[in-house]
Amino acid sequence: MKISSIIKYSLSLVLAGVLFYFAFRKVSLEEFVQKIAEVNYSWVLLSIVLSIMSHWLRSYRWNLVLRPLGYEKLSDGRTFLAVMTGYLANLAFPRLGEVTRCGVMKRNDKIPMSISFGTVITERVLDFLILLSLILMDFIIEFDMVYDFFISAIGWDVNVDHTTNITIIITILVIFAVAGILILKRILEHEFENPLLQKAHRVLTDIVNGLLSIRKVQNISGFVLSTIGIWVFYYLMSYVIFFSISETSGLGFGAGLSILAAAGVAMAMPVQGGIGAYHTLVSGVLIIYGVEATSSLFFATLLHTSQLVTIVVVGGLSVLGTVFISRRRKTEMAL
């Protein structure tokens, strides 16, 4: 392993540890143990089933993107094994899962890494844009609550006229958006001599080309519906766990959307499996909705752990399935 990889892994592990420590530093272990006995685990089980359905839809959607590239006989089942193996790899090292699942597809379906990885970039960019849209939607739906929390967090006066603060916020966002677009346009259109800028140019070009490749998808309705389905299942798998403990059972649609947005941001952070970041952000959102701190952190832990167990179990079985397929193929070729 390269020194740079070791440093990145160590930094992400330290960041996860720091976030986890600050999230749990004031928690009573006795209270946590007591709450475990009060959980209605039928809702947790339902959440796990919904998450597996979302992963299956992701596999189906990935096949839709790969088929126009010359791979028309892909099995949703084998692709599902690749996706889940990738999720398992992400627990060891952030972003390793993308490379891992492409490696599985190369082994199982002979798809070159360069082709499958390009489609993964497309998927990640699309998910990022959807997450940004959900955050914006959450801000609109839960405006008063999110607004007061945000203004208080940055130290502005909550009692000041909303119009003034909103105008300032929108102006800042517009400036950043315009600057970002101009910088992106500059990078894409210019040839750089600096190696670092050349790498940035290649990455951004791949991202843009990846998004444009969606136009090649033949079953566009299936692509759109599966994309919507993925995020609906993401939402539901977080929302149904509200009913597993009494402290969150009364929360509504808006709170579920806020949890989804917070969880999405946490999982995008460069820490193994979102550990620490997930607990901090999700519990922080629930505190905004008036849920007591320990109960908020317990909910975040319950939701995160249920998904972690799902990935470990299903991902582990997927690794075994991949090994079995590989050995069977070698046996068939030897006959």
* Arithmetic mean of pLDDT over the chain: 81
Which of the two residues, 214 and 189, has the higher pLDDT score? 214
DSSP string, 157-180: -TTS-HHHHHHHHHHHHHHHHHHH
For residue range 30-39, list pLDDT tens digits in order: 778 888 888 9
pLDDT at 171 over 80: no
pLDDT at 185 over 80: no
Non-local (6+) Cβ contacts of 98 within 8 A are 86, 117, 120, 124
Return contacts of 107-113, CB within 8 angstroms, 24+ apart.
107/322, 107/326, 108/78, 108/81, 108/82, 108/322, 108/325, 108/326, 109/71, 109/74, 109/75, 109/78, 109/79, 111/66, 111/71
pLDDT at 137 over 60: yes
What pLDDT band is residue 157 in, cutting at 50, 70 and 90? low
Which of the two residues, 274 and 234, has the higher pLDDT score? 234
Average confidence (pLDDT) over 196-214 = 66
**What is residue 198's three-state secondary structure?**
helix
Predicted pLDDT at 5: 61
Predicted pLDDT at 50: 96
Predicted pLDDT at 302: 93
What pLDDT band is residue 216 in, cutting at 50, 70 and 90? confident
Q: In the 8-state DSSP scheme, what is residue 273?
A: G
The answer to which of 83-87, 174-178, 186-190, 246-250 has the lowest mean pLDDT is 186-190
pLDDT at 156 over 80: no
pLDDT at 153 over 60: no
Average confidence (pLDDT) over 279-294 = 87
Structure tokens, 162: 């909303």
Which of the two residues, 142 and 231, has the higher pLDDT score? 231
Ranges of each domain in the chain? 3-334
Average confidence (pLDDT) over 193-197 = 67
Predicted pLDDT at 188: 60
The overall pTM is greater than 0.85? no
Query: Counting Cβ atoms within 10 Å, is residue 176 exposed (0-12), middle (13-18) or buried (19+)?
Result: exposed
pLDDT at 155 over 60: no
Which of the two residues, 160 and 247, has the higher pLDDT score? 247
Which of the two residues, 296 and 201, has the higher pLDDT score? 296
